[in-house]
Amino acid sequence: VKITSSTTPARKLAHVAQAGLRPLVSLNNTLSAVPKFIYPTVTGTADQQAMIWETLDKLPMHHAVRPNSIGVVPSIDGTPNILGRNLSPLGRVTLSESGHGMSNPDVFKNTVNHEVGHSVDHPSGFFSIFTKSRPSDSEPFGAGPNVSDYAGTNPREDFAESYELHRHDPQALRDVNAAKADELQQLDKPTYLQRLVDRPAFRETGKWIGKQFQAYPQLRTGLEIVRQTGIFSLALAGSAKVTEGVIDKDSRDVALGLLQTGAGVGLALAPSVPWLGVAATAALGGSVGVKAAQDAQADAGRTVASMIGAGVGGVLGGFVTPLVATQLGYTLAGPAGGALALLAGGMLGGTLGAKLGAKFALGKSPEGARPQE
Ligand SMILES: [Zn+2]
């Protein structure tokens, strides 16, 4: 008889539920790890949507995908003085139809840029408060000369106002404040990983996915909360495991917990520091490897080997495979094909890659190596 923990019906049920959730958790992790290419969900009249898309298309891709949704509402707080608002932690941008001048396409598009500017300054994610300081936290932002009176109200608005002018008329910003222009020019440059997804397959797939939520923009916000909660619970479960390991003096549990916590933190910060996404998938895979070694009652040396094997497998499966799959799916069947491939790759890749990596490193199936009684 195998020694397993699923001895009571309640535990069995919990195991089944966990197994069913695993692909979704895996997808959640992949979507958090890879450089973002899913475009915001855009809502409004046909004209308004066209103006928003026209504005997004002129932005560097890594800026265009920063908000999760951009929607037009009749008014904000019942006053025409507020043209737009950005709920930064959720990446939700609203534009006011009745805001002063918003019927003028230039004002409308400038407002889109202003709000995206807030998202560039503050990537969505409750954890982003822990990342390196926001651009607006330090000079030249928050100090004159300013592009407008409104920019003088606080450093956040200074950044957004400067960003708006940088998009509309870069030379005009440079004439007012060259240091701010330099800083914004620097932020326009994508990182290596961001450049990797800046190709038609990902742009078009990302736009297609964003559009699927048009009828339910709230669902998009809801999924964003789910995504962040998932990452948070991963970090939390990891730290619980560390505590457990310390109390039981079990170094493997401590390692497992540290890897999970590290993965959670890495995924949380990946929107601002893209390479942390790769590191997080490696840590996630590594934790699968430690678990497999635990099940196989492997010694310390083989546990480390299993951790490394599964870590490599985790990166290949949870990061590389979904991206390659998206490109392939798009080539074969357009944006819908890309989205479907991303879904499949994200659900299966990470866990499968890590398990194979662990199996390879341990030399035999972790399942077969389970202790018997
Ligand atoms: Zn603002």
Over residues 72-101, the mean pLDDT reads: 92
Find the 212 Cα to ligand 1 centroid distance in Å.
28
Find the 209 Cα to ligand 1 centroid distance in Å.
27
Residue 130 has pLDDT above 70, yes or no: no
CB atoms within 10 A of CB 61: 21
Two tokens, residue 130: 């822990």
The predicted pLDDT at position 5 comes to 53
Q: What is the mean pLDDT of the chain?
A: 90
SS3 273: coil
The predicted pLDDT at position 271 comes to 81
Helix, strand, coil percent content, the chain, rounded in steps of 5: 70, 5, 25
The predicted pLDDT at position 7 comes to 65
CA distance 331 to 234: 34
More confident residue, 125 or 194: 194
More confident residue, 10 or 150: 150
Find the 169 Cα to ligand 1 centroid distance in Å.
18
The predicted pLDDT at position 368 comes to 45
Beta-bridge partner residues of 292? none
Over residues 129-133, the mean pLDDT reads: 61
The predicted pLDDT at position 15 comes to 82
Find the 373 Cα to ligand 1 centroid distance in Å.
66
CA distance 257 to 238: 4
Find the 13 Cα to ligand 1 centroid distance in Å.
49
Two tokens, residue 112: 């889109």
Write out pLDDT tens, residues 256-266: 999 999 999 99
Burial of 250 (0-12, 13-18, 19+ CB in 10 A): middle
The predicted pLDDT at position 1 comes to 46
CA distance 273 to 238: 21
Phi, psi of 344 (to 5 degrees): -65, -45
Taking Cα atoms as reference points, which of 120, 115, 124, 66 lies closest to residue 94?
A: 115
CA distance 279 to 285: 10
The predicted pLDDT at position 12 comes to 83
Find the 32 Cα to ligand 1 centroid distance in Å.
26
pTM: 0.87
Two tokens, residue 110: 């400038």
Over residues 330-344, the mean pLDDT reads: 97
